[in-house]
Structure 1
Amino acid sequence: MESSTSSPLDNPALAALRGPHAHFADRHGNAVRYQRDVCPMAALPDNPTLGDWTDAAALVGAGTSMFLPVVDVTPPADWGLQMRMNGVQMVDDGVAAAPDDEAIELTTDDVPEMLDLVRRTEPGPFLPRTIELGTYLGIRRGGRLVAMGGERLHLPGWTEISAVCTDPDNRGQGLGSRLIRALAHGIRLRGEVPFLHASAANTTAISLYETLGFALRREVMFQSFVAPHEIRR
């Protein structure tokens, strides 16, 4: 398992937005974020300076929130705390990756159904253009989308599995596990390593991921801050 020292996984949104996902980035100085209809995540350099936070305020706008995943940082006093949640980061440690004959690759035509499934299952943020971040797979029953999952953060050598969800009427059939294995298979074919994040409180999901072959890499923090209403220049 990779050490936490100098790894892109330590600040994955920054590594993605400076690397494979640079074409999705909005920037101001050292602050960077995904385009608003793609993903809510933003990033700052490691150990951000006061100047970096000033860049962040200019990037998101006065009184607007900024979601910083994985890193645990403390903003200047004029920023407000909106959300703080303990999480875990897990990496492939022997996932039985395999394609799935029933899983189909979803396209932009499927986005309305995907958004509806996300609204009903709440797997985490999924926006109208999130599908552009990577491969998304789904399973249909009777023509209806009942399970999905896909790739979100893409950084050098690593791809995050995210938005795995199953319609409540179709749970207990292992559909989510099958999609995770299929996604892991596709990621490995590119010579990359799958990883994922979960809320530390979601012990059921963490146990499932461990059963599938993911191992805890580190505990992380998900935070959202609100920029000051008067931005320093």
Structure 2
Amino acid sequence: MIDRRDAAVLDDPVGESLRSRHAHLARRFGLAVTYPPAVATFSAVSADCEPQVWADLARLLGPGELADLFSCPATPPPDWEPVFVLDGRQMIWSSNAQAKLCPAESGVVELGADSVPEMRDLVERTRPGPFWPRTHELGSYLGIRENGRLVAMAGERLRPPGWTEISAVCTAPEARGRGHAARLVTALVARITARGERPFLHVAESNTGAIALYERLGFLSRRHVTFRGFRTP
């Protein structure tokens, strides 16, 4: 059973993050808010937003730019060109899974600004989702190296009040099947819960292998979502 305590903020994880713990990264114009493009492409608008918010978001992003609405169901005006649609699900970690945590982080290393080139190279090879030159500023990122080469990583992304999203979970093809993803996610869960927060994540509905892994690690499905992006006029 999912503990739905304070889970309402997860209905708008981008907006809740930009209004709270990521406020220092927020770019605003009128009713619209987004991240710097080098950090993330996500923008926030309310599901029942008034027409002015679209004008404000277009002004904020500029003409012909990507408006990544993440899981927001709001529909932009007809002259906003659809770019992508992806079915996914939102999963939250169950507090009943405490026994599955292993606090040991042997072989897990911290990844910072000096690791960005190899982090982006790994993302390019594995395609877990967008990762830009300053994405690492959203939270902590951990990795595993083999023979000095980064072969797996995972980190923290959206941070609505009381919650931290685990994201960018990826493993190089030549290093799969060794439990790296499970070790990294478990390490992040331990860190997040030690701060008194709850972990959550998003995954593509088609990625059944990842969903099964997250379920084994104690994550439960909270809701199905649709990720959408549009091009501003």
TM-score band by shorter chain is over 0.9
The residue number in structure 2 matching 1:40 is 41
Q: TM-score, with normalisation over the residues of structure 2?
A: 0.94
> In the alignment, is the contact (CA less than 8 A) between 1:70 and 1:220 conserved in 2?
yes
The 3-state SS of whatever aligns with 2:157 is strand
Q: Deviations over 1:91-112 (max 9, x none)?
A: 0012623332111111111111
Deviation at 1:3, TM superposition (A): 4.2
Which segments of 5 or more consecutive residues in structure 2 lack a partner in the other structure? none
Deviation at 1:183, TM superposition (A): 0.4
Query: 2:93 — aligned with what?
Result: 92
Indicate which of 173, 183, 187 corresponds to 1:178.
183
Q: Secondary structure at the match of 1:218?
A: strand
Contact kept, 8 Å, 2:88 with 2:203, in 1: the verdict is: yes
Q: Which amino acid aligns with 1:46?
A: A
Instruction: Answer yes or no: is the 8 Å Cα contact 1:151–1:160 preserved in 2.
Output: yes
Distance (Å, rounded) in 2 between the aligned partners of 1:85 and 1:134: 25
Q: Percent identity?
A: 49
**CA offsets 1:15-62 (integer angstroms, 9 cap, x no match):** 000110011111111111111101111111231110111111111111
Query: Secondary structure at the residue paired with 1:155?
Result: coil
Distance (whole Å) between structure 1 residues aligned to residue 49 and residue 101 of structure 2: 38
| Cα distance in structure 1, aligned partners of 2:84 and 2:197 | 31
Residue in structure 2 matched with residue 124 of structure 1 by the alignment: 129
> 1:41-80 maps to which residues of 2 (within 5 A)?
41-80=42-81
Query: Are the aligned partners of 1:118 and 1:165 in contact in 2 as well (CA < 8 Å)?
Result: yes
Q: How does 1:16-35 map onto structure 2 within 5 Å?
A: 16-35=17-36
* Partner amino acid, structure 1, of 2:193: R
Counterpart for residue 169 of structure 2: 164
- In structure 2, the CA distance between the partners of 1:91 and 1:74, relative to structure 1 (3 Å rule), is same
Q: Shift of residue 206 of structure 1?
A: 0.9
Count of matched residue positions in the alignment of Structure 1 and Structure 2: 228
The residue type equivalent to 2:162 in the other structure is: G
Partner residue of 1:231?
none
Q: By how many angstroms is 1:85 displaced?
A: 1.2
User: Any unmatched runs of 5+ in structure 1?
Assistant: 229-233
- If the length of structure 1 is used for normalisation, what is the TM-score? 0.94
Q: Structure 2: how far apart are the matches of 1:219 and 1:5?
A: 18
